[in-house]
Structures are given as structure tokens and as C-alpha cells.
């Protein structure tokens, strides 16, 4: 996963959940597919179970109930 943007890109990990990313305009996944960022903040899946990769769709809650 590669994040790119015109300015600083900040990443904050949510425990048991996604990475919150600010400042990216493009997310390039491991297959090289580019995903345009259309929100001020995006959540990137870290559990690999999302059905909307690379975005978190909250499936992690079923994987690791809190």
C-alpha cells in the first residue's frame, strides 16, 4: 500500500481497526491499482477482510469484537 498527496500525509492507527489517513489524494494498493481519495479523512483496512478494499467497511468488528 502506498499513499501519496501534495502535502504531508498523516496516518493514525485505530486499535483493532483501520488506519485513519489525512492528506492523501491517491492510495495505491499492493496490486498497483490506484484508488482516488474523495474524503477529507479515509479509513484504510488493516484486517484484510473488507469487501471494499482498500477502504475499511467495519468488517473488522466481526473479526475482533470489542
Partner 1 sequence: MLLPRERGPLSRRVLQTLRTGPGSSRSTTAFTELALGPDSVVTDEDAQLALWTLYELHYRGFDDAAEDLEWDPTVLRLRRTLERRFERELREAVALRLRSLPGEAPVGETLLALPATSTGPSPAAYLHRHASREVVVDFLRERSLQQLKESDPQAFVLPRLTGRSKVALAELLYDEFGGGRPERLHQRLFAEAMVSVGLDPTYGTYVDEVGALSLASANAMSMFGLHRRLRGAAMGHLAVFEATSSVPSRKIAGGMDRLGLPPAAAAYFHEHVEADSVHEHLAAHDICGAMVAEEPGLREDVLVGAAVCLHLDELSALELTERWNPTAPTAQEVAS
Q: Which residues bind partner 1 (CB under 8 A)?
A: 14-15, 17-18, 20, 22, 38-43, 52, 55-58, 61-62, 65-66
Chain centroid offset of residue 23 CA: 12
Nearer to ligand FES, 6 or 48 (CB): 48
Among 5, 9, 17, 23, binds ligand FES (CB under 6 A): 17
Q: Is 57 in the site for ligand FES (CB under 6 A)?
A: yes
Instruction: Give the residue carrying C-alpha cell 483496512.
Output: 45
49 neighbors 58 (Cβ within 8 angstroms): no
Cis amide bond preceding 54, omega within 30 = yes
Amino acid at each position: 500500500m502506498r499513499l501519496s498527496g501534495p502535502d504531508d500525509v498523516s496516518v493514525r492507527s485505530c486499535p483493532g481497526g483501520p488506519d485513519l489517513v489525512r492528506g492523501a489524494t491517491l492510495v495505491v494498493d499492493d496490486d498497483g491499482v490506484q484508488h482516488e481519495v474523495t474524503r477529507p479523512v479515509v479509513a484504510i483496512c488493516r484486517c484484510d477482510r473488507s469487501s471494499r478494499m482498500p477502504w475499511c467497511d467495519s468488517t473488522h468488528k466481526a473479526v475482533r469484537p470489542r
